[in-house]
Structure 1
Amino acid sequence: MPALRTSHPPSLLSLSLTHPPKPSLPTRSRRPFSASPARPSYDDTVPNLRIGKHTRVIYQGFTGRVATTNAQDSLAYGTNIVGGVTPGKSGEHLGLPLLPDLRKAKEQLRPDATAVFVPASQCGKAIEDAIEAEIGLIVSVAEHIPLHDIMRVASILKTQSKSRLVGANAPGIIAPIGSCRIGFQPLPTFAPGHIGIAAKSGTLSYETVASITRSGLGQSLCIGMGGDIIAGTNLVDALRVFEADPETEGIILVGEIGGRAEEDAAEWIKEYRQRAGGKAKPIAALVGGLHAPPGRIMGHAGAWAAKGERTAAEKYKILQEAGATMVDHPENFGGVMKTLLRQSGRDVGKITQDAANQRRGYHTLRRRPTSLAQERSTRIASIPQQQRRGLLLRPDQAPGPLEPYLSHLAGLALSPEPAPTDAFHLGITVDRTARSPCIAASPTTNPAQLGQRVKRFPYDWRCGPSTATIQQALEHMQLDAAPPAALAHAKALIEALSAMYKAKEAVTLSSSVSIDSQTGNLVLHQPSLVLQFDDAAYRSNQRQGDIHSLRQTTTEVPEEVEAEAHGIVFVKLDDPSANIGTLVNGAGLAMNTIDALRQHGGRATNFLDTGGKATSATVKKSFELILQDPRVRVIFVNIFGGLTDGGMIAEGVLLAFREVAMQGVPVVVRIRGTNEAVGQKIIAESGLEVEAFDGFAEAARRVVELARR
């Protein structure tokens, strides 16, 4: 059989005659995951999100240091923790039963929910164990779980109607009104009340919660979707819970760039408002990443927009048109929600009074006593180190990895020429709503039309695309009437790319393709090739080393590579008129800081997320990175201390002033949240030329004023 034809010199692509290798991703042989009725539906598990005092919680990885600390705080909060599991161990831990496996825990402890506190490399298996045990709610908090592990989990979840997943890479779920916390949310921020909150971003959700707490409204239930590409529970799932929850009087959604969760939520909101009429609960929302650069991953693994996906600005407008009241900064949610409640005819005075009455019995104050230093140390130790997410190979690197998967496609050409105007778009990527891989196809590659013409055809991760699904994609591309050779190539190409997608744990594999008018064969255009792979597969599980060895850091932005080595996510923005350096903790908050600065007339030179393990040294390194950019005229430090300690950030700012040549660049600091008073006092008493503010708006106005000098 002839090798893949190429119109480039033979040295570019040398292909053997082998068939595509079988996937190397480990799979697990299991019995069917359900004793449910004949037609189980994962949607049937949405009510499992209604946690409270009744919820019996266990921990997987119970004796681990992070799980132990978290369980102690959650117990003090009032969570009904009934024990936990550590493989091979039994007895007691924290005065509660410790069992060696989940099956025994299910039988003896009768849990309603499990908190999965195990390393990312083991999370996929741990979640599967919980599904097999038919535990009603599974909360997975670890960051950097390989995408294809979660795809495998998602494919299993769809076959059953007993277990609901929250996460992965999520702060978890917390019901302040029932003192039940399953996750690592910063407890002092929360207060029992009557506002339901669902969010993709942890830090944005904490600041949202703080605003609602300060307003006196409090929270009924807060659900963290998590920032990964695939979420076990999405915004629509949360909306369904909030609609049915009698304790929830108002709803807040916090979205961001990437995926279609916000669009799906907008469709639900439209239907809900028609269905409920004047009794509809008011809904407010925020979307982060309005000014994120195209094609960049903004901290969260899922914070990027694929071809055909809406921008954050478009999603903002879609939600607004659906009836959600849009907010530009999370500190404004409290006042906005009070106004919306009044406009909907609800008694705000009664709601706040009821919340205040519940707050008198709040369990947060029963936390075990620790010194400030111990508290900081514990909080930092419980948060995973940031990692780079996603390896994107350059088009000239693509032929090597592609070779084993396309070598059997006789006559298929790889051209070094750009795609012609009549080319098609074809690829395999993620359908986040379907929680599965999909064929992404479009009859055009015209940038002006591509967003509207790309259509996704989901398929089961375990089985690959069916013949019917492939045919649907080809019909949408208008290739069903193509010459026989091109049609055969297109079918085989989809099968080959889907095999490579699973075997090499890709995020997106795509290309522009056209039909050779002389031969009737299909042509791949190399300049358009996109080969993006999941970095977590290598970092967390040491899989796909051959792919990730192709990374060439010398071709990347030096500051971004340097930041990565220190656990910092740094993205240099290209705006030549920008002159404000930003230092923020949390990807969602960092995106929103850039957006909100634009509202005040300022432009940021960078996106910088110090990460959950922000220390004084990390803050110092962040200043060094920011000051490498000659555009910077002022630095804005915007910290919400949910998991990051405000006092520590303040100390980091002072350390930077002492040890970094600040070059006369002024610094404005806003510290809110955990130990905000400590941080603000440290700044105020430092004697250094650092300006400290409490509110975002006043801080942003001062930053813009300094930038214009």
Structure 2
Amino acid sequence: MPVPRLTSNLIRSSRTRLFSSSAVKHSYEDTVQNLKIGKHTRVLYQGFTGKVATQNAKESIEYGTNIVGGVKPGGSADHLGLPVLSTVREAKEQLKPDATAIYVAAPHAGKAIEEAIEAEIPLIVAVAEHIPLHDILRIMSILKTQSKSRLVGANAPGIISAIGKCRIGFQPLPTFSPGHIGIVAKSGTLSYETVASITRAGLGQSLCIGMGGDVVAGTNFVDALRVFETDVDTEAIVLVGEVGGSAELEAAEWIKDYHRREKNPKPIAAVVGGRMAPPGRVMGHAGAWAGVGEATAEEKYKILQNAGVTMVDHPEKFGNVMKTLLKQAGKDVGKIQQSAAGNQRRSMHTARRLRPAVTKELPRINTSQQRSLHLRNQKAVDHLSKSLESFTISEETSNDTDSVYLSISVDRSSREPCVIASPSTNPRKLHHRLRRFPYSYLKGPDQKTIQAAIEHLQLDAAPPAAHAQTAKLISRLAELYREQEAVSLAVNLSVSSSGSLHLSQPQLFYDDAAFKSNKRHSELHALRDVSQESTVEVEAEKSGIVFVKLHPDDDSANIGTLVNGAGLAMNTVDALALPPHNGKCANFLDTGGKATSETVKTSFELILRDPRVKVIFVNIFGGLTDCGMIADGVIMAFEKVDMQGKPVVVRLRGTNEEVGQKKIAESGLPLEAFDGFHEAAQRVVELTQST
């Protein structure tokens, strides 16, 4: 099979460009203050006339966001009474925006972001899901050459100044209230739970930054912390992390330094989702997996705790926790609450009144869930052999052979590809001896980087020819990594007695967003063999649901979970398993952040295939999802699905929560409705013990 090549859009980007005239003097790190949006921020919309953008813009304008116009190829007279121009550069010159919201679907989002960088828009917010990883790596390589533009996202809910009434993204507005807690989050649904808890506590939010759950994020925790540190409106900070990457570890180091140099530091609390996530699995978000040598979510939790961060097991607790921390810091909580209440409009969390039963589904940009293509065993051998003709490759490593570990993957910290090297493949030693060697995405690894990786592999006794072959292998793997848009290419490497290299146990992961969103590498993705995958997981994927069976050999895993949003689904599994509940979930199920009645019905069918399940826990936070609609889905499931006599506990919180709870209560079905997580979780565990 010929090696799939890059599209012209990616090929043309191989030319390194300096977009900002000041790039040689400053850096991308200097753009963090562009995150400080507010009433002053002039917002542009790319993809302005689309259905999703139009509805979002109407809501944002009503909220108070200063939208100055939009961009559409070819232009038009106006839209929503605002000017629409043909190019971002024209919009920059005529409308002078401070920020742009990119409401362009994944296949074209990369080009739209690049246009915004070329026009030197100060803040670029990309909300689209499933932008191919290599498009973002290319964009990050461009961003590093300039000091004008800052990116939030991609695959992020965006950024919102509750105190400045400026929304750039699709956050559920009724959840927010003006106040003084700064929030930065990987997960959208977990951030909405966090915001709701803080709103209920009367503290409100200053600035909320969604960094997104992708492998590479334009803005990370440390970037946000630097803004919150100097923001006069922010009195305390919340971090919402999850499994995958090292952003939480970098935040912990920053926080330790902050506590050393600041006499009265702002209180910081955090939650980390995925503490019970099985190793090696992608948990809904594209970036929610721990790569080789990366810390687990449990390790991140402890590292943040040791850095002086107050940790919680569920975001519902943040409101009371932040009040306690503010008091301990000598802050006047009553005054902060009064300040927040002064500008707060009554919302679903502050006004306990019944709303009309609105069950309209919100529009979405992309409904399919993302998963990587994993080639292993003989398929991986066959595919790699065609691309590395001068190397011998086998499925297994001989027991009497010393081997080293070599991979090309992503260094999430530097936002670049990297060579990963370890002089041992022993699982107990590999992680401790592993090192990453980042390199330029556009240029590939230079000889200095390659040599450093080879030295770390400790091939000291190998002949010079083996060293030369290893250097050639690293260069070729880096080429394949980019050409085939891989997430990770890993092999074990050994040297024969004759001095030749032998490759074994290849593990090849490819970004399926490049295929699903842009139809790139169709021959490569045709190699996927679904017969080797879990039937229930493949069926779930067809409905836009991510399903992972947990503890497959443990009959005590008897709680079925149905949750909207990957971060919230991970945290649900965690919180049920941790004290005081001590339950065990049979599955992770993410319906997606915008669950519908139909996906709820399908989710029940998937869960009930597992005979271990004794009780089903439906945990929905209706940020973008209407709780009345979810209640309809639960009721419909009982009407159309054989529930096998399983009890169902339903927790509905958020948009139209009272409507949803009332529908459940009045359904006459064996359903139990709660609005508090821990009360619901306690009841779930009780039911597993009584059935």
- TM-score strictly above 0.5: yes
Cross-structure match for 1:7: none
Are 1:690 and 2:671 matched, yes or no?
yes
Matched-pair contact (CA < 8 Å) for 2:52–2:364: yes
Where structure 1 has 5 or more consecutive residues not aligned to the other structure, the ranges are: 1-14
Alignment partner of 1:162: what SS? coil
Compute the TM-score of the two structures, normalised by the length of structure 1. 0.93
| Alignment match, 2:227 | 241
2:326 aligned to which of 338, 341, 354 = 341
What pairs up with 1:207-606 in 2 under 5 angstroms? 207-277=193-263, 279-359=264-344, 373=358, 376-377=360-361, 379=362, 381-408=363-390, 412=392, 414=394, 416-418=396-398, 422-479=402-459, 482-516=462-496, 518-525=497-504, 528-575=505-552, 576=554, 577-599=556-578, 600-606=581-587
**1:217-255 per-position Cα deviation (integer Å, ceiling 9, x unaligned):** 000000001011000000110100000101000000000
**Residue 32 of structure 1, CA deviation:** 2.4
1-structure distance, mates of 2:173, 2:324? 26
SS of alignment partner, residue 62 of structure 1: coil
CA shift in 2, pair 1:32/1:186, >3 Å? same
What residue number does 1:653 align with? 634
Deviation digits for residues 337-360 of structure 1, max 9, x if unmatched?
111111111111111111111215
Q: Find 1:194's aligned residue among 180, 203, 209.
A: 180
Q: Do the aligned residues in 2 keep the contact of 1:419 with 1:514 (CA within 8 Å)? A: no
Aligned AA (1:583): L
Amino acid at match of 2:217: A
Aligned-residue offset at 1:200 = 0.2
Quick one: which amino acid aligns to residue 342 of structure 1? K
- For 1:363 and 1:578, how far apart are their aligned partners in 2? 35
Q: What is the Cα deviation at residue 414 of structure 1?
A: 4.1
Q: 1:514 to 1:24 in 2, by over 3 A?
A: farther
Paired residue type of 2:188: G
Aligned partner of residue 461 in structure 1, secondary structure: coil
The aligned amino acid for 1:434 is: S
Question: What letter corresponds to residue 406 of structure 2 in structure 1?
Answer: L
Query: In the aligned structure 2, how far is the partner of 1:109 from the partner of 1:352?
Result: 37
| Post-superposition CA distance 1:517-575 (Å, at most 9, x none) | x21222211xx211000000000000010110001111111111111111111111124
Distance in 2, Cα, partners of 1:215 & 1:161: 39
The structure 2 residue matched to 1:132, chosen from 110, 118, 127, is 118
2:12: which partner in 1? 28
Match of 1:168 in 2: 154
Q: What displacement does 1:389 show?
A: 1.7
Cα deviation for residue 404 of structure 1 reads 3.9
* Aligned-CA RMSD value: 1.9
SS of 2:300's equivalent in the other structure is helix
- Distance in 1, matches of 2:138 and 2:130, equals 15
Distance in 1 (CA, whole Å) between partners of 2:346 and 2:89 is: 35
C-alpha contact 1:413 1:521 (8 A) present in aligned 2: no
Q: 1:691 to 1:21 in 2, by over 3 A?
A: closer
Distance 2:398 2:334 in 1: 64
How far residue 449 of structure 1 moved from its aligned partner, in angstroms, is 2.0
- Is residue 561–residue 619 contact of structure 2 (8 Å, CA) maintained in 1? yes
Change (3 A) 1:121 1:415: closer
* 1:116-155 equivalent positions in 2, closer than 5 A: 116-155=102-141
Q: From the superposition, tell whether residues 469 and 39 of structure 1 become closer, same or farther in structure 2 (CA, over 3 Å).
A: farther
Give the residue type in structure 2 aligned to 1:521.
S
Shift of 1:401: 2.5
Q: Distance in 2 between matches of 1:206 and 1:387?
A: 20
Contact 1:250 1:337 (C-alpha < 8 Å) held by counterparts? yes
Between the aligned partners of 1:507 and 1:419, the Cα distance in structure 2 is 28
Which runs of 5 or more residues in structure 2 are unaligned?
none
Aligned length: 679
SS at structure 2 position matched to 1:708: helix
Q: Separation in 2 of the partners of 1:519 and 1:651?
A: 69
In the TM superposition, structure 1's runs of 4+ consecutive aligned residues that sit over 6 Å from their partners are 361-365
1:285/1:326 contact within 8 Å kept: yes
Tell me: CA distance 1:21–1:287, structure 2 relative to 1, closer, same or farther (3 Å). closer
1:16-55 matches, within 5 Å, as 23=6, 26-28=10-12, 31-55=17-41
Question: 2:58 maps to what in 1?
Answer: 72
* Residues 4 and 524 in structure 2, CA contact (< 8 A), matched pair in contact too: no
Tell me which amino acid in the other structure corresponds to 1:44: D
CA distance in structure 2 between the aligned counterparts of 1:396 and 1:625, rounded to whole angstroms: 31
Give the letter for the 1:471 counterpart. Q
Matched residue SS, 1:541:
coil
Tell me by how many angstroms 1:421 deviates: 6.8
Change (3 A) 1:573 1:439: same
> Cα offset for 1:474?
1.1
